[in-house]
Amino acid sequence: MDIQVGPHLYRNTNGTVEIEGVPQIEFALRKPGGPLSLTFVLFDSRGLMPLKIVNSALAINEQRAYELIKETTSLVLTHRESGEQVLHIELKEEDRVVITQGSFITLKAHHMTITPREWSVDKASAKAGETDMEGKSVSLG
């Protein structure tokens, strides 16, 4: 599976995105072309977990603070009160997942930002490019 984080394409991944050494996002395709299955853990600045998505379903959603909109080829996670998109994910082609937008906290309490121009977390960032992961996890930060 190929995963594009902002403008950077990671080819031949195992479907997992590790952020600062912690598996925080995991994708699976039940069949080519979708539906897309997402597992995602959201942390707050104290390291607590107010949200957990398992197989594209909200498993933990403290105070119903988040809304997940699912379609066959896309998932959008939004903070209800602020309207801010936490994650916007699209399935392009048969096996390429694109995280077009993201704004969330990592387990190490750093802010992860994903835009169409770059991704950044703490002191690490990447712009357009391509990396062959050879069947391994994507490692950011």
Distances from the Cα of 59 to the Cαs of 53, 93, 135, 138, in angstroms? Answer: 5, 28, 28, 24
Q: How far is CA 7 from CA 38, 77, 98, 126, in A?
A: 20, 20, 9, 8
State residue 63 phi and psi, 5-degree precision.
55, 25
Torsion angles phi and psi, residue 8, rounded to 5: -95, 125
- Alpha-carbon distance of 135 to 130, in angstroms, equals 14
Tens of pLDDT, residues 65-85? 999 999 888 999 999 999 999
Q: What's the pTM? A: 0.93
pLDDT in tens, 15-27: 999 999 999 999 9
